[in-house]
Amino acid sequence: MNVLVVGGAGYIGSHAVRSLGEAGHQVWVYDNLSRGHREAVPAGRLIEGEVGDRDALVEVLTTKRIDAVMHFAAFALVNESVLDPALYYRNNVIAALELLDAMRVADVKRIVFSSTTATYGEPEIVPIAESTPQQPINPYGFTKLVIERALADYAAAYGFGYAALRYFNAAGADPAGGIGEDHDPESHLIPIVLQVALGQRDRITIYGDDYPTADGTCIRDYIHVCDLADAHLKALDRLEPGRGICLNLGTGRGTSVREIIEACRRVSGHPIPETIGPRRAGDPAELVADATRAADELGWRPRFTSIDDIVSTAWAWHRDHPCGYAG
């Protein structure tokens, strides 16, 4: 297929681009490089543009004879979405709707959409199945839910075939090297802990150790970015006109903040000092996926099931690229 990967210069998108290429698809990356990296895109495959630029998108979809779109280009930081919701509504909702409209105009009706655990809010029951009510507690989660709803309506009315993939915590890097996680500023746990290991930060601050969990720190489901990429490929193969699937992507196994820090110590061999700070607003105690539906629908199972293996791939990236794509 000819696949347009919108946001393909970002962390998860660049891994999907690599997997698509390896599977023999013709891949084009559409990205404005506001948060992505030119170096993450294979040579000659980058088209610079804005997601909100419907005319430019129609032109690309048409001239490149695109069969399907993967949409990764969104802002994805909870705290930032609380402080600047306008940014999130503009980018994650208005621009995304322009993309969907461009697809209608160009008669491209297959899309794999990056959704998130944040659409569930603070679920009472863990592990979280797709049937869990979606009640986001921050603008980020809400903007993603809006597009999920739009996709359901576009499937019914216009015959779109879509997959909304609800990621848990993306982690790691392609073991083959060359691409990895590089956010500025970095806010995610594993990269920050590994930056402490590299001596780039003094210590890791644990955001709260008084949660109702075994060791008092938050539990998350860390899913390897290559496993996410693999799920996108499998979802692409199963898109059907007029039908949508919403799938959780996680390992089904929870890891606490303390366990992540311990894994980073084991893997890096560095002591990694820690300190306890206050809770971060909006952090639920425990988010773990029930990913049974993805296994049933896609035949997808994560290959990286050990947290040390996941952290090892992240460590290889950060050790070899201490300044990310800048060196």
The angle at the Cα of 76, spanning 231 to 9, to the nearest 5 degrees, equals 65
Out of 140, 162, 167, 211, pick the active-site residue.
140
Among 206, 228, 298, 314, the residue binding ligand UDP under the rule CB under 6 A is 206
Which one of 34-42, 63-71, 142-150, 182-190 is the stretch in contact with ligand UDP (CB under 6 A)? 182-190
Shortest reach from residue 138's CB to ligand UDP, in Å:
10
Binding to ligand UDP by residue 104, rule CB under 6 A?
Answer: no
Q: Is 140 a catalytic residue?
A: yes
Shortest reach from residue 81's CB to ligand UDP, in Å:
11
Binding to ligand UDP by residue 218, rule CB under 6 A?
Answer: yes
Question: Rounded distance, CA 127 to CA 16, Å?
Answer: 26
Name which of 24 and 185 has its Cβ closer to ligand UDP: 185
Can you read off the two tokens belonging to residue 197?
A: 């290991």
Residue found by looking up tokens 């948060």 in the block: 35
Residue found by looking up tokens 């294979």 in the block: 42
Question: Rounded distance, CA 300 to CA 288, Å?
Answer: 17
What are the angstrom distances between the C-alpha of 186 and each of 141, 166, 323?
19, 22, 11
**Per-residue x/- track, 220-259, ligand UDP (CB under 6 A):** x------------------------------------x--
Question: Rounded distance, CA 20 to CA 1, Å?
Answer: 9
Instruction: Decide: residue 327, CB within 10 A, 0-12 exposed, 13-18 middle, 19+ buried.
Output: exposed
Binding to ligand UDP by residue 263, rule CB under 6 A?
Answer: no
- Does residue 127 have a cis bond before it (omega within 30 degrees)? yes
Q: Which amino acid does the sequence have at 80?
A: E
Which one of 11-19, 43-51, 138-146, 187-195 is the stretch in contact with ligand UDP (CB under 6 A)? 187-195
Shortest reach from residue 183's CB to ligand UDP, in Å:
10
Residues with catalytic annotation? 140
User: What are the residues binding ligand UDP (CB under 6 A)?
Assistant: 78, 169, 187-189, 192, 204-207, 218, 220, 257, 280, 283
